[in-house]
Amino acid sequence: MKGNPLLRFAVVLFVLAAVLWPVCRLTLHKNPTLTSGPLTNSTVTSASPTTDNSSESSASNSALGSAKRPTLRATLLLHAAPSPQHCLISQSGKNLLTEKDQISPGEYRTAVEITKGDDLLISADWGDEEPHALRLEVLVHGYQAPLEKSFWGQKTVEDTLPIPESFLP
């Protein structure tokens, strides 16, 4: 690029400024339920009485905000080949399915309440480096088609399954 160095510098600054706004919105956008950390019954009830009122009110507001979100009654089915040593499906810091919910080798099932608009976090690990597969099915009660996703990994699998906000009325 030939031309005046000051003009080139001005063009580069203009391009960087144009890109700065969308990048800042994507990277610095804070979700109040994620920034306050996972809330469980033990963390809300074990708050010490000496904490200031602002932290108590923010914790209760975020707990109320997540309580207002619509929930769905669903059954989680996890199929794994071979069976993992440890598996966990959680949503908003709440464990929904663990290896304790095993119904047969490589199959896990539990009935839970899931929140619309929040992702299900899936993690599993095995003791060897062989290829492994997981398939998660979310069967929503009263709805024919399940949400399902397959996961592939070697020693560990960590991924998400989004539950759309617009899923069912």
pLDDT at position 70: 77
Tokens, residue 140? 């929503």
pLDDT at position 40: 41
Could you identify the residue written with the tokens 């499906």?
Answer: 89
pLDDT at position 30: 58
Amino acid letter, 113:
E
Domain ranges of the chain: 5-66, 70-162
What pLDDT band is residue 65 in, cutting at 50, 70 and 90? very low
> Percentage of the chain surpassing pLDDT 70?
74
Q: Per the omega criterion (within 30 degrees of 0), is the bond before 38 cis? A: no
Closest alpha carbon to 116 in 134, 137, 91:
91
Q: From residue 50, how far is each of 41, 61, 62 by CA, in Å?
A: 19, 19, 20
Q: What is the pLDDT of residues 20-58, one digit of tens each?
A: 878 877 777 655 444 444 444 443 333 334 444 444 444
pLDDT at position 116: 84
**Residue 61: pLDDT above 80?**
no
pLDDT at position 2: 75
pLDDT at position 108: 92
Q: What is the pLDDT of residues 104-163, one digit of tens each?
A: 888 999 999 988 888 899 999 988 888 889 999 988 887 777 888 999 988 898 999 888
Tell me the C-alpha distance between 147 and 73, whole Å: 13
Tell me the C-alpha distance between 97 and 81, whole Å: 17
pLDDT at position 22: 82
